[in-house]
Amino acid sequence: MFWYEEEVKRLEKLQKTLEYQPQTAFYGSSTFTLWQSLYQDFAPFQPVNLGFGGSTLAACTWYFDRVFKYQKSLDNIIVYAGDNDLSNNRHPEEIYIFLFQLFEKVKERYGDIHCSYVSIKPSPIRWYLNDQVKYTNMIIKNEIEARQNPYWHFVNIYDNYLGYDNRPNPQYYENDGLHFNTQGHTILKEILLKHLSQIKQV
């Protein structure tokens, strides 16, 4: 995990620069780290961007105690990670285990706050992992639904990024075939704003 150290140190310092107590934390990999307009897009929910590039769910769980130094102001944690785990040859069920370990860490620190897992996206360059992506998404979705915890949520974004041929639509990705471009982030923004508005009413 040492290769994430500089990024984690950056996140540890971030809390000292915010001018407000955050209510919604975005935690995970470069899908969040590279989201340039995140703070503006989610301003009504007082966001903090805790993404760190290349992170895995394993790393998110490992570094949780260092990154989450915020007091009881948080109402929501949005998690996006998992595709880097798969590309590092981790089994889908390992990812499943790391996620629920993370959710339990959140509960231990913050009590009952909303934890939302954003499904792993399809991406052109990692299409060879598609069966594992779909299986990972399925077992996480099924477990969240089975536990019937009103504070745990699965947010499916997978289908929104497919084209007419049921393959990733390249118009939503940077030239690397992996990261979202502005159009890709706009879709994700709309999905998450709707989700956050719905759980706020619960």
> Would you say residue 161 lies in a domain?
yes
> Would you say residue 164 lies in a domain?
yes
pLDDT reading at 2 higher than 90: no
> Would you say residue 9 lies in a domain?
no
> Would you say residue 116 lies in a domain?
yes
> Would you say residue 126 lies in a domain?
yes
Q: For 145-182, b where at least 16 C-beta lie within 10 A, e where not — what string?
A: eeeeeebbbebebbebbeeeeeebbeebbeeeebbbee
Residue 3's pLDDT band (cuts 50, 70, 90): confident
Q: What is the pLDDT of residues 62-96, one digit of tens each?
A: 999 999 987 677 999 999 999 999 999 999 999 99
The total domain count for the chain is: 1
> Would you say residue 13 lies in a domain?
no
- Which range marks the domain in which residue 116 is found? 21-200
pLDDT reading at 1 higher than 70: no
pLDDT of residue 72: 72
Task: Quote the pTM value.
Answer: 0.96
Q: Which residue has the tokens 């499916």?
A: 156
